[in-house]
Chain A
Amino acid sequence: MTEEIDPARLHAYRRGRLIDAMSAAGLDAMLLLGPVNLRYAGIAQPVADAMRQHYEATCAVVAATGDVIVFTEYLDGVTDAHDLTRHALPLEEPEGAATLVDALREVAPGLQRVGIDEYTGPLLGIREALGGVEVVDAALATGPARLIKGPDEIGCIRRAQRINELAMYDVEAALRPGVRQTELSGLFLERVFELGASSSTIDPIWNVTPLSVAEGTVTANGDVGFPLASNDRFLREGDLILCDTGINWGGYHSDFGKTWICGVDPRPTAAQQNCFEEWAALMRAVYAAIKPGASCADLVAAAAAITPKHALRHYYLGHGTGCDAAEPPFIGSDLGAEYDRSVVLVPGMVFVLEPVVWHDGVGGYRSEEVVAVTDDGFELLSSYGHTPFAGAQVR
């Protein structure tokens, strides 16, 4: 599998899919505010906390003809030389909303149907401002476009995953009694950026997990608490750690979750090892079911055949990943069995499998494995082993 990623080819692929999807959805234009959709359209912005980014917003209007106007202060992030660029807009002010209405009419004269991914307060009035134009969710086009990844997109995810994993080797070695959660986070962040990450996208999780639900933190749904936000808490001998980290490379996400044990000489108990073995059997069954034409319900059934209660209630089998850390398809989620049956696997779909096997009183095992559907099966984009339960990755 080649590691070559061609940025121009990647951009052409995504723009092409976006325009095709707009045509299929009958959209004359789209107004995009969401950084994930913008990134897919080839418009990047510096990564910041959400609270900051709302007020340093980039946005764009995209016409079905391919004409694009980008409103941004970050010109380096505009991939396509044909896109027009203008000053960033005050999206929280009526003047900003008015400019966007004008821009939509400018790129798409005769506009009849427009997709919008989100509104700010002043944009709540855009229906009235656009007169008889039909306003629908831009996800009608961005969803189908983003669902099937091209080879360059999969290359980006593969690279993100590798950077994430390389950093986690250092973190796992540092997971010893007395280390603070924030120390592990610091080591992780330093390493991923040295290795070339574009950003870290989630506060690294080092979830100290009780061996039984009753011993753990109170939860609204009666499950074991996860993911708990990290702080300067320090870890102790025998702590069962469910870790979860994610980074972005070139606009695409990794997803890394493992179950580790904090200890001078970390070793699972025999009962904990049994949890892992059951998890491994479950994953082998799911892997055997992954092929084009299978549905998400087939994967859920394969998991349930090994472990009827393969998940705690609020856990699920998997979710898609790409420009967003969690995106369709969702597998075994509370969207329900009918949704699972409706999603048929197609080459180019990428998702993260993250089942949990839980034996109350013993603890559990959770690991996240990133999978790309291929013409004849799947490719594992993750490669990390399962220490201290097993050295080699379950395949």
Chain B
Amino acid sequence: MTSLLKTPNIGTGVLEDRDRIDFAGLRASRRERVFDEMARRGVDACVFGREGNVRYVSGARRLWTAGTRPFAPGCLVVGATGRIDLLSFSASYEGIPAELGPEDMYPLSWNPQTVIQRFRAAVERAGIRTLGVDGMTPLFEGLLPQAFPDATIVPFEASMRNLRRTKLPSEMACIRTAVAIAESALYSAARRVAPAVTERTLQGVFLRRMCELGTSQFAQQGAFTAIGADGHCRRVTGDGALDDGRPVALSGGVLWAGYEASLARTWWCGRQVQPTAADRAPAGRWRVLFDEILGHLVPGGTGAQLGGLLESVGGDAEVAVYSLGLGHEGSIYAPGLPPAVLERQRLDAGMVVGIRIYVPGAQGGYLAEEMVHIGDAGPEILTTLGHGTLAADPEGKTQDA
């Protein structure tokens, strides 16, 4: 099985092929890691509200909604019993893994007392002295002690994030599949780049192709924007149409089986107008910067080291390096992060990172994002999609071919 797992183009619609990922084994491994981490930290139980954590520990495929909601109990994990109590939006067994039965679910409620009463009734509370949470609101800060009167509440998000950063082999198979979908969807949008096409059309094409490839859940709905002549790259798709002779930033991300793949490219929009050397210059700088950063993506590296590198070679480029898996798992490097935070962001073998670089130019700019798996032997670039004409030399040969 393992040899096949590196195949990125696992057809998502083929049920037999889907068995190449041992989801039951994946869920068991993830759950075990969470219980081990709870034991290591002396945490008796956890209440998770964030979908990434709920999915990591329970394996449930629940209704997807955009954006964050204030903390509310999405599942309760009890170390001593190994039990998981799960909020199911539909109250239904569909999307819930086999190891959880109907008795392990509780339905959505608008009344926060309902879930508190369930926790009171269902849990052997006496032994719960330390309760981990991945968020909180003043409301639940008042209510949770009613269900766990003996417990001290401690933050557990950082533990979950650090745990999730190191990937299991089956997680890599999911991420590779997500990458294949994201690339195909982004390229569909890239092929539509032409004068008079609207930015919104590109966004629509990206999302439709993503759905055709088997998932309707986006990690980020993406930004499809013409880069301004002042070098400004908007982060949100606008209402306008593309002009002849502009670079167009294309970025987006998808989820497959909960795992994220995000990437970005910049495509030249031109029918009569061809890119000049000045139009191409940012893409050249992008390549140099990316290769420099790639060289630093080794086990033991830190965000602070990346910060040092960018201080010397980054110039005015905007760079973000972050961990990816069941969604965003925190920044390794981002502009403005305090030095002490950067120092604590450690690169380990088994991590997947996104590298997003925007290089502003004299009359445009170049945005691209790649995903990289940090292996013991060195970094492996997971994204395979080519970079288009801006990154090609004037004879038309792409630099990364």
Q: Decide: B204 and A194 in contact? CB cutoff 8 A.
A: yes
Judge whether B119 is part of the interface by a CB distance below 8 angstroms.
Answer: no
Q: Decide: B90 and A203 in contact? CB cutoff 8 A.
A: no
C-alpha gap A224/B263 in the complex (Å) = 39
- Which A residues are in CB contact (< 8 Å) with B95? 228-229
C-alpha gap A182/B61 in the complex (Å) = 15
Out of B135, B223, B237, B327, name the residue touching A51 (CB < 8 Å): B327
C-alpha gap A88/B137 in the complex (Å) = 21
B340 to chain A: closest residue by CB: A95
Q: Decide: A221 and B91 in contact? CB cutoff 8 A.
A: yes
Q: Decide: A95 and B338 in contact? CB cutoff 8 A.
A: yes
Out of A116, A201, A333, name the residue touching B67 (CB < 8 Å): A201
Give 1 or 0 for each of B179-218: 1 = CB within 8 Å of chain A CB.
Answer: 0000000000000000000101101110111111011111
C-alpha gap A87/B336 in the complex (Å) = 6
- Which B residues are in CB contact (< 8 Å) with A12? none
C-alpha gap A113/B215 in the complex (Å) = 46
C-alpha gap A96/B65 in the complex (Å) = 27
Q: Decide: A186 and B107 in contact? CB cutoff 8 A.
A: no
Nearest 5 Cβ contacts at the A-B interface: A51-B327, A121-B155, A87-B336, A186-B211, A225-B92
Q: Mind listing 6 A-B residue pairs with CB under 8 Å?
A: A55-B328, A77-B236, A118-B137, A182-B212, A193-B203, A228-B95
Judge whether A53 is part of the interface by a CB distance below 8 angstroms.
Answer: yes
Within 8 A of B (CB), among A41-70: 46-57
A-side interface residues toward B, CB under 8 Å?
Answer: 34-36, 46-57, 73-74, 76-77, 86-88, 90, 92-93, 95-96, 116-124, 135-139, 181-183, 185-187, 189-194, 196, 199-205, 217-221, 223, 225-232, 248, 314, 316, 319, 325, 330, 333-336
Q: Decide: B114 and A334 in contact? CB cutoff 8 A.
A: yes
Judge whether B234 is part of the interface by a CB distance below 8 angstroms.
Answer: yes
- Which B residues are in CB contact (< 8 Å) with A194? 198, 200-201, 204
Given A53-B68, A92-B330, A190-B205, 7 more A-B residue pairs with CB atoms under 8 Å apart are A52-B327, A73-B335, A93-B338, A116-B138, A182-B216, A201-B65, A333-B111
A219 to chain B: closest residue by CB: B91
Out of A49, A86, A229, name the residue touching B218 (CB < 8 Å): A49
Q: Decide: A137 and B138 in contact? CB cutoff 8 A.
A: yes
- Which B residues are in CB contact (< 8 Å) with A86? 336
C-alpha gap A249/B223 in the complex (Å) = 16
In the assembled complex, the CB of A388 is this many whole angstroms from the nearest CB of chain B, namely 25
- Which B residues are in CB contact (< 8 Å) with A116? 138
Judge whether B106 is part of the interface by a CB distance below 8 angstroms.
Answer: yes
B52 to chain A: closest residue by CB: A51
Judge whether B377 is part of the interface by a CB distance below 8 angstroms.
Answer: no
Given A51-B52, A52-B253, A229-B94, CB of A93 within 8 Å of CB of B341: yes
C-alpha gap A185/B209 in the complex (Å) = 10
Judge whether B326 is part of the interface by a CB distance below 8 angstroms.
Answer: yes
In the assembled complex, the CB of A23 is this many whole angstroms from the nearest CB of chain B, namely 19
In the assembled complex, the CB of B326 is this many whole angstroms from the nearest CB of chain A, namely 6
B-side interface residues toward A, CB under 8 Å?
Answer: 12-13, 50-52, 61-71, 88-95, 102-103, 105-111, 114, 133-139, 141, 153-158, 161, 198, 200-201, 203-205, 207-212, 214-221, 223, 234-237, 239, 253, 255, 260, 322, 326-331, 334-338, 340-341, 344
Given A76-B235, A88-B334, A92-B330, CB of A117 within 8 Å of CB of B67: no
Given A88-B336, A193-B237, A229-B62, CB of A54 within 8 Å of CB of B68: yes
In the assembled complex, the CB of A382 is this many whole angstroms from the nearest CB of chain B, namely 21
Q: Decide: B63 and A49 in contact? CB cutoff 8 A.
A: no
Q: Decide: A122 and B91 in contact? CB cutoff 8 A.
A: no
Given A220-B107, A221-B91, A229-B62, CB of A47 within 8 Å of CB of B221: yes
- Which A residues are in CB contact (< 8 Å) with B329? 55
Given A230-B216, A335-B110, CB of A50 within 8 Å of CB of B161: no
C-alpha gap A248/B198 in the complex (Å) = 19
Given A95-B341, A137-B139, A330-B110, CB of A203 within 8 Å of CB of B65: yes
Out of B90, B155, B255, name the residue touching A122 (CB < 8 Å): B155
C-alpha gap A232/B212 in the complex (Å) = 9
- Which A residues are in CB contact (< 8 Å) with B110? 316, 319, 330, 333-335
B325 to chain A: closest residue by CB: A51
Q: Decide: B235 and A228 in contact? CB cutoff 8 A.
A: no
C-alpha gap A136/B138 in the complex (Å) = 6
A122 to chain B: closest residue by CB: B155
- Which B residues are in CB contact (< 8 Å) with A55? 322, 327-331
Out of B69, B137, B220, name the residue touching A52 (CB < 8 Å): B220
- Which A residues are in CB contact (< 8 Å) with B235? 46, 74, 76
C-alpha gap A35/B66 in the complex (Å) = 11
- Which B residues are in CB contact (< 8 Å) with A334? 109-111, 114
Q: Decide: A50 and B50 in contact? CB cutoff 8 A.
A: yes
- Which B residues are in CB contact (< 8 Å) with A88? 334, 336
